[in-house]
């Protein structure tokens, strides 16, 4: 390994530590604390990667990042900071940073970030081969699909989105990084490297959203993002965020748009979708009753019945997840909703603080008060959106016919647990 890494940090102890770590890993290391000299160093040393501190005494690191990407766009830049937040990370990544690390960072985290950047995480798909596969691997993938397994997938390049948390009301964001085969879908934060794998055992709250917790850290309102990942069949992904995934416009549409623009990479590994062998039911089945069941099917089919007080009323929806395009067209645009009086109660218990006129459908006793519906049955469609996201807590795509009546996140989780138990028996 002969790649050159340029370390730009005003603290000598940081530069010294990084020189030792990276030299031991086989990198050629050049370092400086003189920010104005960086462009000349890049021209002279041709580094593959620049590790750039955000806070430099002579020059703003973000402005220096902007200049590097403008004048030397092929040079990879990983930003580092002792005072980071997800907003800074989102801003830097949008400007072209390959990653954003918060001090103090671990050796394993630093090396993983460098490896991810060098593997071409930000390069995007090859237009002649949008899935990033050799012809041999594509043929193997087709064979595997016929046999029942499907290729594992990740994003072809990093995706960044900023917004506001629906329940916290705080500014937040997400950075989606590609991940290797077998990695799974994992949330982590900038503050530390606590990993929160997406699986039902890590669910700690299903009251008004789905919350995952591990290692003393939590991330809430994950269901809309997971719904889009389920629809696109993404099985490996590293997701950096704060304590809540941004609400965006209250739907999953922006997630779908960004994923489609970034492209997908099918990987040299497969995953077997979960196939239901017999009926599994939670609750008592019957008209007007609350229940959810799964039955055998060749792909994910959902029949949902919603029954809310007026003016929402009873809505029914049939949806078949046959392609990402079908999901993006029929389900992803449906926004979260609630009664005005309900959001007042949520505010009293510290939730719903981020509900605004542009990220949720607000309903009073007579009508929708803040927007025009995107579908006559948008409320039922959003329930299906949530259900598709919660079902991905199984860790694999689900092939089943799911029928649900008057259900929410807690019922969805109960079905997930029942399906898992059935697979173990």
Active centre residues (catalytic): 409
Q: Give the position of tokens 């990653």.
A: 99
Of 82, 86, 81, nearest to 62 by C-alpha is 81
- In sign, the C-alpha dihedral spanning 39, 43, 46, 48 is positive
Chain centre distance of CA 292: 26
Please give the radius of gyration of the chain, using alpha carbons only, rounded to the nearest integer: 23
Of 404, 397, 395, nearest to 202 by C-alpha is 395
Question: Which tokens go with 104?
Answer: 């103090």
Of 226, 207, 227, nearest to 409 by C-alpha is 207
Of 395, 385, 386, nearest to 152 by C-alpha is 395
Residue 153 · residue 181 · CB < 8 Å: no
Burial class (CB in 10 A: 0-12, 13-18, 19+), 284: exposed
Q: Give the position of tokens 């193997």.
A: 140
DSSP string of 29-94, one letter each residue: EEEES-GGGHHHHHHHH--SEEEEESB-SSSBHHHHHHHHHHH-TTSEEEEEESS--HHHHHHHHH
CA–CA distance, 396 with 230 (Å, rounded to integer): 8
Residue 36 · residue 20 · CB < 8 Å: no
369 in helix, strand or coil? coil
């Amino acid at each position: 390994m002969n790649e050159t890494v340029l370390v730009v940090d005003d603290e000598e102890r940081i530069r010294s530590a990084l020189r030792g770590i990276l030299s031991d890993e086989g990198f050629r290391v050049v370092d400086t604390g003189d920010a104005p000299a960086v462009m000349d160093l890049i021209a002279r040393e041709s580094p593959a990667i620049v590790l750039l501190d955000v806070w430099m005494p002579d020059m703003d690191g973000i402005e220096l990042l902007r200049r590097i990407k403008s004048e030397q766009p092929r040079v990879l830049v990983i930003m580092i900071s002792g005072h980071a937040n997800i907003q800074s990370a989102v801003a830097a990544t949008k400007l072209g940073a390959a990653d954003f690390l918060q001090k103090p960072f671990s050796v394993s985290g630093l090396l993983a970030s460098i490896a991810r950047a060098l593997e071409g995480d930000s390069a995007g798909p090859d237009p002649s081969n949008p899935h990033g596969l050799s012809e041999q691997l594509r043929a193997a993938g087709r064979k595997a699909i016929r046999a029942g397994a499907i290729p594992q997938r990740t994003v072809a390049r990093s995706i960044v989105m900023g917004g506001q948390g629906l329940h916290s009301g705080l500014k937040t964001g997400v950075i989606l990084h590609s991940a290797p085969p077998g990695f799974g879908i994992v949330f982590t934060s900038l503050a530390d490297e606590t990993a929160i794998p997406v699986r039902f055992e890590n669910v700690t709250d299903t009251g008004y959203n789905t919350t995952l917790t591990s290692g003393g850290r939590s991330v809430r309102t994950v269901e809309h993002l997971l719904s889009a990942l389920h629809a696109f069949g993404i099985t490996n992904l590293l997701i950096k965020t704060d304590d809540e995934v941004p609400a965006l416009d209250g739907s999953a549409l922006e997630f779908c748009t960004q994923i489609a623009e970034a492209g997908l990479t099918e990987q040299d590994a497969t995953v077997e979708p979960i196939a239901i062998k017999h009926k599994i039911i939670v609750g008592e089945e019957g008209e007007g009753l609350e229940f959810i069941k799964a039955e055998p099917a060749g792909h994910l089919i959902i029949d949902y019945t919603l029954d809310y007080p007026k003016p929402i009323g009873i809505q029914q929806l049939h949806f078949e997840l046959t392609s990402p395009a079908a999901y993006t067209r029929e389900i992803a645009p449906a926004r979260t909703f609630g009664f005005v009086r309900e959001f007042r109660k949520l505010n009293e218990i510290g939730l719903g603080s981020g509900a605004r006129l542009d990220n949720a459908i607000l309903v009073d006793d007579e009508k929708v008060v803040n927007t025009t519906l995107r579908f006559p049955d948008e409320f039922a469609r959003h329930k299906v959106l949530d259900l598709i996201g919660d079902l991905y807590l199984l860790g694999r795509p689900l092939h089943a016919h799911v029928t649900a009546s008057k259900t929410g996140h807690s019922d969805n989780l109960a079905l997930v647990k029942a399906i898992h138990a059935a697979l173990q028996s």
